[in-house]
């Protein structure tokens, strides 16, 4: 990241001092530096790295990220899972010297936890050990509670490592040497480390060439620690002497560039003159011309790894540009970052492009279960270990009219046998009268409890209303009778049922409204109430569904965000709440439900209701896991079963 004082250099395309590369070919390189052959052999064994610079949304800087009292593994897990779901395979993280100085063993334990977490999401890690960027008025790093961000400003509480005063205080260098050797020595043979970025933007914050001796010393210390991974320090716009030395000592050439595609092409071309692998360790400033749609194909085509700045918007406030004044309004176009704290994308077109470009795991790779139009997919496990599937049918006129409720069955979640119509307007109609050309069952859900099957359903507008059907045979194929034949249970849509551990049954509908049913299931026993998340007025506007897993209650709902139809989930220790924040659980997976199979593996249903879904209006399922925070999310890092790649 570059402070605002450096922006004109990058905008102008000069990046003064950063790319005086041609003159280096005649200079002697450090003896321990990898040869060009070694560096290129290393690259030949690597994938194309698509990475991001990671600071969790709950941290204002790297001190807050790594201190024991603010180390937030739950948020890290959730946000790294979102990154994996976008197709990222690597991340760059800043380590803070003073946190190591206070507790070397503790910091390494936390870093080990982070490495394990990243690996579980298919991400390799690039650590950064030193950093001259001091956005907080050139303030040196400090321990304890970090100051809160200043409203309207970007990354205003970022502090350097080890601190600008320590860079030139050679009396303190023995401890810096110990830090580098401890870190590189401890993790220098760890396959989860992709690359060592030893020093971020040396010379920034007015340091200039005063940082050059520490650059040279840091390379020497790291060489002595004998890491298996390559070493680098990225050129960024510092002095000519600094930039030349960084490239002279680096095994692979790395650089920062915040600008447009043309400028990026020029940087890549200059860096490639060294005959070594090239990695862009910082990029992506939208208002300076950067675009994922143009730069990602460039990076991949040139075999240049890339690490954009930011992922989830949070306490660093990287939606604001560098130099944004205090209390500035939030810009309509974010400078950095991709996702809001609930996991929803700021720019859905951008995120959809990334998923498709990377062929991201999870939702992007889903395949339909049936070649038959179905919306609002429901799957239920019966007492005979048979799975039953239903949903809205009757395409293409299902918004106005359909025949009723269809069901399919399967023993393995792969091959599905149609059972046909189990309830129809022609044979079973009670209160569901046709109004004009409107007569359709929407979003039927099949449930099994009290020794029989139940179907919660709703009827389309303008008549509207919800109801419940009961199988009189105890079988999924019915026959079914309406528990309230004289009229709807409620005058809204999207009904569901939840049976708690004590046998109490609850009617769930619309946007998260809930009411306990009478013991004989003849109607509602109480007035409905709305279950709300802590960070919004509702979990979603329709498709409410409640389930219980691992001792917690989960409320899922569908919500349109910028034209995309997502599944959001909030959870609670109590059915009545309070519920925690809602998070985007299944992208493009609105109006789904969650179920477990006979082996207790959890799944989400899916049908696709927007242009960025992998398909539209076909039944599908994807496996679900629960993160460290307890929230559900698609499994991406293990082989998927049942017809999925």
By CB atoms closer than 10 A (0-12, 13-18, 19+), residue 305 is buried
Query: 569-576, long-range: CB within 8 Å, 24+ apart, which pairs?
Result: 569/539, 569/631, 569/632, 570/531, 570/533, 570/534, 570/539, 571/630, 571/631, 572/531, 575/498, 575/500, 575/506, 575/514, 575/546, 576/529, 576/531
Residue 152 has pLDDT above 50, yes or no: yes
* 99 Cβ contact partners less than 8 Å away, ≥ 6 residues apart: 62, 63, 66, 67, 107, 143
Q: What is the pLDDT of residue 1?
A: 66
CA atoms of 203 and 199, how far apart (whole Å): 10
Q: Which fold has domain 4-19+49-360?
A: TIM Barrel (3.20.20)
pLDDT confidence band for 550 (50 / 70 / 90): very high
Q: What would the DSSP string read from start to end of 176-197? A: HHHHHHHHHHHHTT-TTB--EE
The residue whose two tokens read 């979990």 is 539
Q: Is-cis flag, bond preceding 396, omega within 30?
A: yes
How does pLDDT run across 283-334, given as a tens digit for each residue? 999 999 999 999 999 999 999 999 999 999 999 999 999 999 999 999 999 9
What value does the mean pLDDT take over residues 131-138?
88
Find out whether 95 and 183 touch, Cβ atoms under 8 Å. Answer: yes
Confidence of residue 8 (pLDDT cuts 50, 70, 90): very low
- Predicted pLDDT at 436: 87
In sequence order, which residues have a C-beta less than 8 Å from that of residue 181 and are 6 or more positions away? 221, 222, 224, 225
Q: Are 350 and 338 in contact (CB under 8 A)?
A: yes
Separation of alpha carbons 389 and 206, rounded Å: 65
384 pLDDT band, cuts 50/70/90, is: very high
End-to-end CA gap in the chain: 38
Among the residue ranges 77-81, 220-224, 329-333, 359-363, the one predicted with the least confidence is 359-363
Q: Would you say residue 475 has pLDDT above 70?
A: yes
Are 369 and 409 within 8 A, CB to CB? no
Tokens linked to 205: 């914050």
Residue 148 pLDDT > 80, yes or no? yes
Report pLDDT for 136: 84
Q: Are 243 and 211 in contact (CB under 8 A)?
A: no
> Whose structure tokens read 């599905």?
416
Do the domains spanning 4-19+49-360 and 374-634 agree at the CATH topology level?
A: no
Integer CA distances (angstroms), 84 to 49, 101, 124, 168, 411, in order: 13, 32, 11, 40, 31
Three-state SS string over 54-70 comes to CCCCCCCCHHHHHCCCC
Among candidates 424, 510, 412, 417, which has minimal Cα distance to 469? 424
Q: Is residue 637 predicted with pLDDT exceeding 90?
A: no
Average pLDDT over residues 437-466: 93
Give the whole-angstrom CA distance, residue 330 versus residue 332. 7
Strand partners for 448:
453
Pairing of strands 196-200, 231-232: parallel
User: What is the mean pLDDT of the segment spanning 14-29?
Assistant: 35
Q: Where are the beta strands (DSSP E) in 397-541?
A: 404-410, 417-424, 441-449, 452-459, 466-471, 480-482, 495-499, 505-509, 513-516, 529-530
Which of 126-130, 159-163, 358-362, 586-590 has the least mean pLDDT?
358-362
User: Positive or negative CA dihedral for 528, 534, 537, 538?
Assistant: negative
Instruction: Count Cβ neighbours within 10 Å for each residue of 20-59 and write b for 16 or more, e otherwise.
Output: ebeeeeeeeebeebbeeeebeebbeebebbbbbbbbbbbb
A 10 A CB-CB count for 491 gives: 13
User: 14 pLDDT band (50/70/90 cuts)?
Assistant: very low
| Position 464 confidence tier, pLDDT thresholds 50, 70, 90 | confident
**Per-residue model confidence (pLDDT) at position 139:** 85
Return the higher-pLDDT residue of 22 and 541: 541
pTM for the whole structure: 0.92
Per-residue DSSP letter, 330: P
Q: Helices 348-358 and 292-302 sit at what angle, rounded to 10 degrees?
A: 20
pLDDT tens digit sequence for 397-419: 999 999 999 999 999 999 999 99
- Using CA atoms, how far apart are residues 476 and 442, in angstroms rounded to an integer? 18
- What's the mean per-residue pLDDT of the chain? 93
Mean pLDDT value of segment 93-101: 98
Mean pLDDT value of segment 116-125: 96
Report, as an integer, the average pLDDT of 64-87.
Answer: 97
CA–CA distance, 466 with 455 (Å, rounded to integer): 11
Residue boundaries of the structural domains of the chain: 4-19+49-360, 374-634
Q: How confident is the model at residue 463 (pLDDT cuts 50, 70, 90)?
A: low
643 has pLDDT over 60: no
Residues in the chain: 645
Q: Is 599 exposed, middle or buried (0-12, 13-18, 19+ CB in 10 A)?
A: exposed
Q: Per-residue pLDDT averaged across 591-616, rounded?
A: 96
What are the start-end ranges of the H helices in 208-239? Answer: 212-224
DSSP 304: -
* 115-134 mean pLDDT: 97
Answer whether CATH 2.115.10.20 is correct for domain 374-634: yes
């Amino acid at each position: 990241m570059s402070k605002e004082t450096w922006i004109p250099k990058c905008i102008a395309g000069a990046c003064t001092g950063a790319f005086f590369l041609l003159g280096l070919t005649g200079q002697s390189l450090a003896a321990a530096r990898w040869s060009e052959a070694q560096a290129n052999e290393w690259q030949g064994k690597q994938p194309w790295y698509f990475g991001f610079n990671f600071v969790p949304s709950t941290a204002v800087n790297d001190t807050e990220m790594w201190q024991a009292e603010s180390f937030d593994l739950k948020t890290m897990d959730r946000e790294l899972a979102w990154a994996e779901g976008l197709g990222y395979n690597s991340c760059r993280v800043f380590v803070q010297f003073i946190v190591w100085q206070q507790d070397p063993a503790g910091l390494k334990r936390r870093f080990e936890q982070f490495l394990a977490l990243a690996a579980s999401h298919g991400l390799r890690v690039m650590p950064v050990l030193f950093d001259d960027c001091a956005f907080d008025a050139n303030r040196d790093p400090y321990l304890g509670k970090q100051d809160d961000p200043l409203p309207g400003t970007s990354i205003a509480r970022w502090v350097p490592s080890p601190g600008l005063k320590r860079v030139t205080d050679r009396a303190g260098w023995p401890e810096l040497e110990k830090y580098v050797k401890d870190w590189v020595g401890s993790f220098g043979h760890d396959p989860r480390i992709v690359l060592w970025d030893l020093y971020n933007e040396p010379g920034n914050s007015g340091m200039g060439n005063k940082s050059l001796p520490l650059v040279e010393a840091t390379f020497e210390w790291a060489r002595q620690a004998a890491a298996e991974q390559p070493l680098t320090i990225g050129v960024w716009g510092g002095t000519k002497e600094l930039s030349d030395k960084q490239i002279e000592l680096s095994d692979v050439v790395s650089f920062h560039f915040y600008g447009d595609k043309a400028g990026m092409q020029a940087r890549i071309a200059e860096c490639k003159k060294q005959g070594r692998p090239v990695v862009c360790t910082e990029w992506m400033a939208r208002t300076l011309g950067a675009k994922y749609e143009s730069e990602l194909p460039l990076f991949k085509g040139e075999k240049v790894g890339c690490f954009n700045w930011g992922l989830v918007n949070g306490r660093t406030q990287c939606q604001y540009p560098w130099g944004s004044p205090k209390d500035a309004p939030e810009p309509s176009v974010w400078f950095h970052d991709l996702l809001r704290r609930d996991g929803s994308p700021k720019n859905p077109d951008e995120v959809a492009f990334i998923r498709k470009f990377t062929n991201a795991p999870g939702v992007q790779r889903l395949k339909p279960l049936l070649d038959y139009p179905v919306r609002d997919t429901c799957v239920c496990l019966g007492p005979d270990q048979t799975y039953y599937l239903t949903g809205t049918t009757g395409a293409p006129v299902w918004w106005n009219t359909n025949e009723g409720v269809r069901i399919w069955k399967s023993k393995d979640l792969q091959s599905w046998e149609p059972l046909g119509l189990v309830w129809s307007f022609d044979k079973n109609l009670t209160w569901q009268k046709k109004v004009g050309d409107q007569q359709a069952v929407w979003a039927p859900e099949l449930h099994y409890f009290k020794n029989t099957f139940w179907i919660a359903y709703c009827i389309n507008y303008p008549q509207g209303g919800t109801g419940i059907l009961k199988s009189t045979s105890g079988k999924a194929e019915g026959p079914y009778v309406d528990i309230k034949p004289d009229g709807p249970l409620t005058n809204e849509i999207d009904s569901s049922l939840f049976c708690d551990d004590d046998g109490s049954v609850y009617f769930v509908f619309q946007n998260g409204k809930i009411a306990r049913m009478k013991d004989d299931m003849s109607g509602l026993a109480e007035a409905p109430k709305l279950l709300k998340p802590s960070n919004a007025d509702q979990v979603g506007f329709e498709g409410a569904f409640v389930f219980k897993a691992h001792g917690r209650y989960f409320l899922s709902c569908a919500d349109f965000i910028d034209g995309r139809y997502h599944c959001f989930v909030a959870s609670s220790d109590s059915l009545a709440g309070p519920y925690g924040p809602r998070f985007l659980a299944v992208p493009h997976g609105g109006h789904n439900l969650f179920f477990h199979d006979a082996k207790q593996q959890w799944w989400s249903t899916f049908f696709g209701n927007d242009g960025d879904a992998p398909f539209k209006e076909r039944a599908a399922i994807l496996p679900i896991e629960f993160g460290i925070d307890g929230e559900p999310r698609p499994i991406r890092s293990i082989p998927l079963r049942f017809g999925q790649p």
